[in-house]
C-alpha cells in the first residue's frame, strides 16, 4: 500500500472520530413511540443505536437513518401518488423531498402474497417500485455471515458495525491496514478477518 494513501486514510479516520461521527448511529423511527411495531423495530435494529421519534428534535446533524416500521396499503398508494395523509406520512414525504432515503421494515401488502390475485400484487409491486425511485425502499432485514469492507484502513468501529450486522467473517482488501483495536475487537466478537 502507498504510504501517502495510508497517511490520508489514518488522518480521515482520526478527523471522523474527533468530529464525533463515530458515536452510536442515530435512527429516526417514523411512528408513535408506544406503537408495538416501533418497539419491534428498536429490538430488530438492536443495541448500539440512538433512537429518535418524530416529536423529538434530531438536532443539526444530518447523519440520521430514517425508518418506517410498517407501511399500510393505503399509505403506500398515497405515497406512490405523491400524497401524504397524516403527520407521520407527511414526515416521510418531507424527508424524501429533502433527498433523504427512508427505509420500510414491512409493507402490508406482502402479507397477502399467497392469497391476493396476481393483478393486485403487480399493482402493489409497481407502487413499491415507484416508491423506491423516490428514495423509499425496503429495509434489508437479512443478517449476513460475511461482510465485505473496501477501505484502506479498518478500525474498531468497522468491526463493531459488522458485528451489529451479525457477521462472523469480515473480508478486507489484501493491502488494507488493520488497527490493533480492530483486531482485538474482532477476537472479542468472534469475527474472522479475511484478506482477499
For residue range 105-152, what is the model confidence (pLDDT) as tens digits? Answer: 999 999 998 898 999 999 999 999 999 999 999 987 666 678 888 788
| CA–CA separation, 70 and 81 (whole Å) | 18
Position 168 pLDDT exceeds 60: yes
Predicted confidence band at 173 (pLDDT cuts at 50, 70, 90)?
confident
For residue 144, what is its C-alpha cell?
449476513
| CA–CA separation, 56 and 135 (whole Å) | 23
The answer to whether the CB of 44 falls within 8 A of the CB of 27 is: no
Q: State the distance between the two ends of the chain, measured CA to CA, in whole angstroms.
A: 14
Position 30 pLDDT exceeds 90: yes
Q: What count of other Cβ atoms lies within 10 Å of the Cβ of residue 86? A: 10
Question: Mean pLDDT in the chain?
Answer: 85
Helix (H) or strand (E) run with residue 3 in it: helix 3-18
Range among 7-11, 44-48, 178-182 with highest mean pLDDT value: 178-182
Amino acid at each position: 500500500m502507498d504510504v501517502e494513501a495510508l497517511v490520508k486514510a489514518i488522518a480521515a479516520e482520526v478527523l471522523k472520530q474527533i468530529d464525533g461521527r463515530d458515536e452510536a448511529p442515530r435512527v429516526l423511527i417514523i411512528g408513535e413511540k408506544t406503537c408495538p411495531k416501533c418497539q419491534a423495530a428498536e429490538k430488530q435494529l438492536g443495541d448500539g443505536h440512538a433512537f429518535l421519534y418524530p416529536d423529538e428534535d434530531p438536532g443539526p446533524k444530518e447523519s440520521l437513518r430514517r425508518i418506517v416500521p410498517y407501511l399500510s396499503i393505503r399509505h403506500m398508494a398515497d405515497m406512490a401518488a405523491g400524497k401524504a395523509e397524516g403527520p407521520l406520512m407527511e414526515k416521510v414525504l418531507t424527508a424524501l423531498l429533502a433527498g433523504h432515503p427512508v427505509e420500510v421494515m414491512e409493507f402490508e401488502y406482502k402479507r397477502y402474497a399467497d392469497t391476493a390475485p396476481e393483478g393486485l400484487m403487480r399493482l402493489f409491486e409497481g407502487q413499491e417500485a415507484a416508491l423506491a425511485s423516490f428514495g423509499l425502499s425496503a429495509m434489508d432485514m437479512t443478517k449476513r455471515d460475511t461482510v465485505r469492507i473496501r477501505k484502506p484502513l479498518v478500525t474498531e468501529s468497522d468491526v463493531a458495525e459488522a458485528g451489529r450486522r451479525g457477521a462472523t467473517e469480515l473480508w478486507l482488501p489484501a493491502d488494507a491496514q488493520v488497527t490493533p483495536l480492530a483486531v482485538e475487537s474482532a477476537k472479542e466478537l468472534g469475527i474472522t478477518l479475511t484478506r482477499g
